[in-house]
Structure 1
Amino acid sequence: MLKDLGQVGLWLSRQGLDVADLDESRLHQHLADLRNSGRRRVAGPRGMVPLLTFLREAGVVPAPQVPPSPADVLLERYLRWIESERGLSASTMVRYGNTARRFLAEQAVTDGQFTPESLTGADLNAFLLRECARVSAGSAKGRVAELRSLMRFLHLHGVTPMRLGGAVPPVGGWRFASVPPTMAAGDVQRLLDHTPRHGTVGVRDYAILMLVARLGLRSIEVARLLLDDIDWRCGEIVVRGKGRREDRLPLPADVGEALVAYLTGPRPRLDARRSS
């Protein structure tokens, strides 16, 4: 290794480079120059790996630079946007950036590719469920605002074809942890687990309970649901509240499955396109 180190050091000096400039590509160039000079016994690239590893562990040569991922590039664009367009304070920018970083990192698939144009309301819902399970109610409200900001940026810059900001549930409608107020989350889950899911009445009751427990809908909001309110492709559901207010909420997979089980099972024939 010492002999190799001496040869590499001499080559770097002739190239006007410092040892800190050494990396895999320059090592390959060094070996190629040795072969071109007529040297008959030249180590291959693998034979130089221990030398480069030793120099990096000693802090002489910096670690290799990892190119930014598509998600990292998009995050950097978003951070510049909220700094220039939104005029947010430094602390607020940190919060918005951290939420965006976690969300974008979760969307990257296992092979490293990232396709934000395929985002749906279901992706937003899954992220918010995980976030709200680990933070306080006040922080959960912040997550909603932060995620809406990211969705607005993605649409304004042509990254997502749909305006997904409307799919982020409003703060007042994200009530999973407090429906009903005196009922713990574990009790809600036990109620769902013990609800009969067979027969017309059982399947219907389970679908209603899922809407109440997972989305925090009130009984009147469940009763007003129409079949046309459910966007299966985008994974969203329209909820009509007071004063003709309409909110688009992400439709969790388990709620969608409960609705499908009810809608496809035996039920009374109705003229209205109501799902309940």
Structure 2
Amino acid sequence: MNTYWSKKFSGPLAEYADGLRAELSSLDYSPSTVTSHLALWAQLSRWLEAQQLAPAELTSDKIGEFLAERRQTHRYLYTIKALAPGLEFLRRMGAVPDVETMAEEESAVQEIERRFRDYLLAERGLAEISATTYVVRARPFLADRERRGRLDLESLTAADVSDFVSGWLPGLSKAPARSTVTALRSLLSFLHASGVVDKPLAPVVPTVASWRLAGLPIGLTPVQVHSLLGACDQATMVGRRDFAIMTVLARLGLRAGEVAGLTLDDIDWRAGTVTVHGKGNSDEQLPLPVDVGSAISRYLEAARPSSAPGRALFIRARAPYRALNRKSISTMVGRAASRAGLGTVHAHLLRHTLATDALNQGASLDEVGQLLRHRSRASTTIYAKVDQHRLLQLARPWPTSGDQR
């Protein structure tokens, strides 16, 4: 063991310090992350020593006690998730009890959230990202029903639902408010269907006021798209990955969640197609343009981590290597836009850009709907507002006076 850690590690876990360091390094953590995790384990070893406990006595309850103390002095690495890699190593060494006995006890709220998520996936057929969004949006309501550590749903009334909605929704903007209302209705339907509440309370949730097609889809100009792509430094691994992602967004019009869901197996290089996993668990094949394929191949050849597990196409640049999610992709686009001086740009704006450009080049609304893979023509109707060629045909001449005196 190096001199630094020989001083830091004391107590019953000191003999495993070298093994812990090797285990964390094998997971491709950065040196600084390995150091932080070793500091966590050094503290746990000292805590065990102070408690006069052996590693074999490191039960779920004892881990909970340690983490509760750590939360008082640290703002990171204070959950069972942070200990998971080390616990797995120590379990293999036979030093601590099986991992199954160390799982954090599921709270009442977590149990309902898990069952609700399973219901959305199995009964409603929602996609993973949609089910996760519903659970997150419904979480404040469940937290509001938690009384003194107990989740009270049995006594839930229509008045309780109305009180929560009237108190919570005014603090949200339109899109999150609508999403919360939808999630809350689904949660209440689930609670009634599963017998947790005896009355159907979903109809109590009011509708958020909104006007369909009131907005105007504004896209980027070709120069702005070029600037956005140019903001990715392709001399770096991150830059090549980001350039490939934004090329996919701009040329194929995919949603951020659809880009996050792409796998290595979704690209058929021989046929020149890519399979997109869209809304409602639908799978559709799209042509793979040459520039998109080139951007992806450059990323795969020189930027995608070779040790990354799984088959996800776009991966985090730093360990632990895992697939990017919808939020991280949208954040990446926003950062590139900031570097390009374009202000606030979300990933979905590139989808709008593709649609408006297609219309301005003469495509019909039906063709744009097919391009965006809309299930309903109504979803494409909003783009009629930016159909410059057809709107010009409807414009009437500006009235002028015939009297020139």
TM bucket, shorter chain: 0.3 to 0.5
Question: Which is bigger in relative contact order (C-alpha 8 A, separation at least 6)?
Answer: 1
> Which structure: larger Rg?
1
TM-score by length of 2: 0.30
